[in-house]
A and B are shown apart, each in its own frame.
Chain A
């Protein structure tokens, strides 16, 4: 990133901070702030131990410095601006979840597919938070991170003083770590499955299994659907269907299956139940980045700021809006006005529903695409057209 590009980006970010509504987190006066400025990039220099006493003071900083990245602490401190962590005097911290493509075991390669996958993980997490943990929507801030995922900030006072180890128990819960009902192997003996009437993981697993079984409508689709389970191929699937599986899991029997009973279905092999439980665990669990939740002094990206590595806005969402949210359109804040950029090598991106290919040399692109690629370090600024 050359100086011209840095100056251009700083000006664009400045415009953003002047024009867009900026939200400060609750009780921002008691949080530590940290910023990474364009000046030192690509070196990452975090200016931390900053604090603000008023909203105008914070806005003035953002507008005059136009930082590439803006963070505030998840923690509340008595003296947030103190130069050492010990002097700050920790008072509590929001409960934070970070869902990021980098931490998914099987993230797809393309950026749009990756974002879609992380979104579905986020939906699972939100289900745990609202249903099992009983957090109301007012106490949660859900945001697109501006990068490769989502953040959830739980600001419920009930969880503020939880320590790291206690927060890790919550991570273990949403990720299903240490779940005692997990079968040790496909061949494990099993006399019942988790019941629908028991709250928590049991209910979630039971509901997933029942939903799956109810989707096994006719023999043909059933043979295909069964192959979604690990270790079941066409032969095994056909054998299960021919062996009367569909009759076993008919509506007449679903009530007892909800109750965890499976012994009466002598024709269904044990291994299928074990496979279903394992699959249900995979489909229910939410993969969150554990160290983030456990870190009670972490700095986290400011909602409504811009992400200097993508130029995307850190967009606040709700349980209702996240479903329809498309980051590659809805988090784009810059214009379609054309600018010239130059690239050392070809690059590509998807933005606002279009695909853009950049050739080596000078290219004309919409400003939003140019800014995005400059932030990613793929192109340098030439001029406004």
Chain B
């Protein structure tokens, strides 16, 4: 019998310690997927994902450390079976945010151990915390506040001074990366994981569908249905025209909202003759990392990005609504919805 686990393992199921503990439990995957003993782990795994879709993952203290811990790999399998880029981003973000809340209550010593888990070279002294700049920029470069920019930090001898609060924030980013990393999983081909979890996956799909009709548009991207402003911005980018940031942002966030992944978007922009993959990827990922909604028609007009408006544009107030209507009406005189509220 395995020793009683540290209940912290369930709070931090992505750590090497947690992974090692689960391995020691030595539960065959078919058992985890099928035996009654793990029913609650499976439904808790599903709940993790649904809670992520709805906004916030809450810890379940009722089911015990082992089952709570096992629900994490289950949740990853469910997310992988659904195989949706948006879901992956949203799930990773929600897990990381939940962990961040837990980290707030942890003492510094624990944070330092967690830093080690991610290979961060961090030291604590009377002077405060200092972290190697390479570990710092790896995560800090994504933060928008100029206070995070390396140029505005106290850098000396290769180390950056940071506060405990900042350290927690860097850890959140590292955790988010770890959780997102490897998703979707390469599931063992000889075992139909997705079949075994089909009921749970169905519930997740429903929740995701509800969320998407609320904010997004499902299905494969259909360039023919792009509104003229977005089609124009993409065409300019492909021709290598240096677009203003507002237009680039509009095109990228639009494509993300209709469910395209960062790789697909980079590929779409790569037609440009002076295409700089690393720069484009940086810009796209900068936007991908956050939950932005594409700007509405008013904003597009304000920045001079409303180009080539047609008769359908007059009936919508948001490029996403234009797309939604066009896509639905493809092949005929599609019905026109009321403008979004």
Chain A positions near chain B (C-beta within 8 angstroms): 131-135, 158-159, 162-166, 168-170, 172-173, 176-181, 198-203, 291, 294-296
Q: B132, B133, B152, B278: which contacts A180 (Cβ < 8 A)?
A: B152
Q: Are B138 and A162 in contact (CB under 8 A)?
A: yes
Q: Are B151 and A176 in contact (CB under 8 A)?
A: yes
Residues in chain B near residue A179, CB distance under 8 A: 151-152
Is residue B154 contacting chain A, with contact meaning CB distance below 8 A? Answer: yes
**A201 to B160 Cα, complex, angstroms:** 12
Q: A168, A181, A199: which contacts B282 (Cβ < 8 A)?
A: A168
Q: Are B146 and A178 in contact (CB under 8 A)?
A: yes
Q: Which residue of B lies closest to A179 (CB)?
A: B151
Residues in chain B near residue A164, CB distance under 8 A: 278-279, 281-282
Residues in chain B near residue A295, CB distance under 8 A: 278
B152-164 vs A, CB cutoff 8 Å, 1 = contact: the mask equals 1111111101000
Residues in chain A near residue B157, CB distance under 8 A: 131-132, 134
Chain B positions near chain A (C-beta within 8 angstroms): 121, 132-134, 137-138, 140-142, 146-147, 149-159, 161, 276, 278-279, 281-282, 285-286
Residues in chain A near residue B140, CB distance under 8 A: 169
Residues in chain B near residue A169, CB distance under 8 A: 137, 140-141, 149-151
Q: Are A178 and B151 in contact (CB under 8 A)?
A: yes
Q: Are A158 and B156 in contact (CB under 8 A)?
A: no
Q: How far is the CB of B80 from chain A (nearest CB, A)?
A: 23
**A173 to B154 Cα, complex, angstroms:** 11
A132-B156, A199-B154, A200-B155 known; A165 and B141 CB under 8 Å?
Answer: yes
Q: How far is the CB of B148 from chain A (nearest CB, A)?
A: 9
**A180 to B149 Cα, complex, angstroms:** 9
Q: Which residue of B lies closest to A197 (CB)?
A: B154
**A200 to B281 Cα, complex, angstroms:** 29
Q: How far is the CB of B270 from chain A (nearest CB, A)?
A: 13
Residues in chain A near residue B161, CB distance under 8 A: 199
Q: A134, A168, A177: which contacts B158 (Cβ < 8 A)?
A: A134
Sort A-B residue pairs by CB-CB distance and give the 3 closest, nearest first: A134-B158, A199-B156, A164-B278
26 CB contacts below 8 A, A to B, read A131-B156, A131-B157, A132-B158, A133-B133, A134-B156, A135-B158, A158-B121, A162-B134, A163-B138, A163-B278, A165-B141, A166-B138, A168-B282, A169-B149, A169-B150, A172-B150, A173-B150, A176-B151, A181-B152, A199-B155, A200-B154, A201-B151, A201-B152, A291-B276, A294-B279, A296-B278
Q: How far is the CB of A105 from chain B (nearest CB, A)?
A: 18
Q: How far is the CB of B276 from chain A (nearest CB, A)?
A: 7
**A48 to B161 Cα, complex, angstroms:** 43
Residues in chain B near residue A199, CB distance under 8 A: 154-156, 161
A164-B278, A173-B151, A180-B147 known; A134 and B159 CB under 8 Å?
Answer: yes
**A198 to B278 Cα, complex, angstroms:** 34
Output the residue of B150, B161, B286 with the most chain A CB within 10 A. Answer: B150
Q: Are B150 and A170 in contact (CB under 8 A)?
A: yes
Q: Are B149 and A178 in contact (CB under 8 A)?
A: yes
**A115 to B156 Cα, complex, angstroms:** 29
Q: How far is the CB of A291 from chain B (nearest CB, A)?
A: 7
Q: A131, A170, A178, A200: which contacts B137 (Cβ < 8 A)?
A: A170
